[in-house]
Structure 1
Amino acid sequence: MKPSLAAAVPACLGLLCAAMAMPAAAQMPLGDSGLTLTVTPVLSSDYLFRGISQTRNRPAIQGTVDLQHSSGFYLGAFATNVAFPGTDARQELDLSAGYRFEAGAATFDLGGIYYTYPGYHAAPGSYDFNYVEAIAKASYTVAPLKLVGTAAWSPNFYFESGHAFYLEGGADVSLPAGFTLSGRLGYQWIERNRRYGAPDYANWQIVASREIVAGITLAVGYYDTSLSKRECFGGAKFCEARAMVTLSKIF
């Protein structure tokens, strides 16, 4: 029996969906190798990717590891729990690699991500969950404002739904008392919408964040998509407006 199309929900790398505004990452130098290591555990009331819940509206425990060389090249990994109806997928592991560099007040990140679901067993005749994406990110800072943008392309998106493109733009604003206010607006295009389980859609979010104690950051946000309940994978409640709370600490 095939998994329900309600399970056709893609994954999220790192903390882009969990907490859009965090302080600059702490980095642990690894001797004289030119390598630095960053580790970020996260506890969140939900796990959203581009506005859609990956945990059936339930909490998530996540972790990100980032290893970067002084040249700008990096490797990363992100792990989290997931819950897709009609499947035995319970974990997600995303592997990334790329190159980061600066040009004046602008920063760039060019890389790729491989989204995997260890322990998932596809039913006969079902489609593959795993997929890859090429991603380009850019930001430009004129204090107290930082403008950000992301472009992503997959040659064969989640559930083997063909070419997929994603564009997102937004801004982070530093506020008094250590607060940061962030906003994002994105749009997802998918070649085979019927196989994916939903039409092309927009998503948006507004997040306020602040370090509360001992380097722990609290982020509270509002998230929504343009998908109606009927359009959301056959009537699922994964695409509705919601508030989300996230706690994170960067080592």
Structure 2
Amino acid sequence: MSFFSSQATWRCFPWVALLSLTGASCHAQSHAETSPVSSASAAPAEPSAPAYALTGSVTLLSDYRFRGISQSWMGPALQGGLELSLPRGAYLGVSGSSVSRHSYLDGRALELDLYGGWRTELLPGWTGDIGLLHYNYPGARVPRGDGSGGVRYDTTEAYLGVTNGGFSAKWSLALTPYFGLRDSTAATAFAEALPGSGSSRGSSYLDLNYQHPLGDWAVLGLHAGHTQVRNYSELSYADWRVSLARSWGPWTATLAWAGTSADTRYYRAANAAGQMQSLGRSGWVLSLSAAF
């Protein structure tokens, strides 16, 4: 997933995190959040679950938001994911999402996430989760400012999380440059040029969520997050989401209102015709998912 846009005629912005009951992402985040789709961010499985279990889901979204930023140019996206639970709380997973070509230049309009980790009970009622997540954008590259080719958007993060009842918190740390942002791409990675200030490796994201059942009718979801981009403070921002989810059988429908404090000078993208979209503006996100 990436949050950058290129300055040339396209002005792009990248994209992903998880399939979630709130509906929205491809990576590891409960993304009804509206972010890539990955079970990595979904609520941790119970440590007492069977030694081996394969689960999955498919989600259709009206807008794919990753950490509050649209990865689908404010349009629909299709996501899917599989997770294999292993003995002693270990797990492996893969998820994918369509993304906008206006955000991921020269790519296949696809995000693929691979993740793995370990979940365990820390205290009665408290579950811990630690793991690694790799975001891959086949063929997509951030152009270098000097025109000498491009740099991959691909990013690897480590994450640490805890869950208690309806509350969950997770902190993610970028082990590589954050979706391609470095000295050589600072002038072209976003809609407005930035001076090269070094590598963005070490950027982080804090993800806070609370889910509260409204009787048997629906589940209220509250989310707050903060993206800290190392060496590029202009790109740091907060995001939030309020959602209502209703499930029947394997199906879950979610309606969410999501927004960010992202600086629109940077978090925007244009198509080939020059039509501009602000990718972090507040808006409604509707999703429908099926678990299997």
TM-score tier after normalising by the smaller chain length? 0.7 to 0.9
Pair 1:7 & 2:24 matched: no
| Equivalent residue number for residue 226 of structure 1 | 261
Unaligned runs of 5+ in 1: 28-32
| Alignment partners' CA distance in 2, 1:132 and 1:191 | 15
Length, aligned pairs only: 235
| Alignment partners' CA distance in 1, 2:252 and 2:163 | 21
Relative to structure 1, is the Cα distance of residues 108 and 10 closer, same or farther in structure 2, using a 3 angstrom cutoff? Answer: farther
Name the SS of the counterpart of 2:278 in structure 1: coil
| Alignment partners' CA distance in 1, 2:208 and 2:75 | 27
Specify which of 117, 120, 135 is matched with residue 101 of structure 1. Answer: 120
The answer to whether the 8 Å contact 1:108/1:139 transfers is yes
| Equivalent residue number for residue 247 of structure 1 | 288
The answer to whether the 8 Å contact 1:54/1:82 transfers is yes
Specify which of 86, 92, 95 is matched with residue 78 of structure 1. Answer: 95
Cα-to-partner distance string for 1:28-61 (whole Å, 9 max, x where unaligned):
xxxxx93100011111111100000001011111
The answer to whether the 8 Å contact 1:17/1:47 transfers is no
* AA partner of residue 19 (structure 1): A
Pair 1:112 & 2:132 matched: yes
| Alignment partners' CA distance in 2, 1:41 and 1:93 | 14
| Equivalent residue number for residue 18 of structure 1 | 31
The answer to whether the 8 Å contact 2:43/2:163 transfers is no
Specify which of 93, 106, 119 is matched with residue 88 of structure 1. Answer: 106
Cα-to-partner distance string for 1:69-119 (whole Å, 9 max, x where unaligned):
131111000111111427122111000000011231011211110100123
Name the SS of the counterpart of 1:97 in structure 2: strand
Cα-to-partner distance string for 1:121-170 (whole Å, 9 max, x where unaligned):
565433320010001121112xxxx1111100003211234120111223
Q: TM-score, normalised by structure 2?
A: 0.73
Unaligned runs of 5+ in 2: 21-28, 34-38, 183-199, 270-275
Percent same amino acid among aligned pairs? Answer: 26
Pair 1:202 & 2:238 matched: yes
Relative to structure 1, is the Cα distance of residues 97 and 153 closer, same or farther in structure 2, using a 3 angstrom cutoff? Answer: same
Pair 1:175 & 2:214 matched: yes
Cα-to-partner distance string for 1:6-42 (whole Å, 9 max, x where unaligned):
534343244335325x998999xxxxx9310001111
| Equivalent residue number for residue 251 of structure 2 | 216
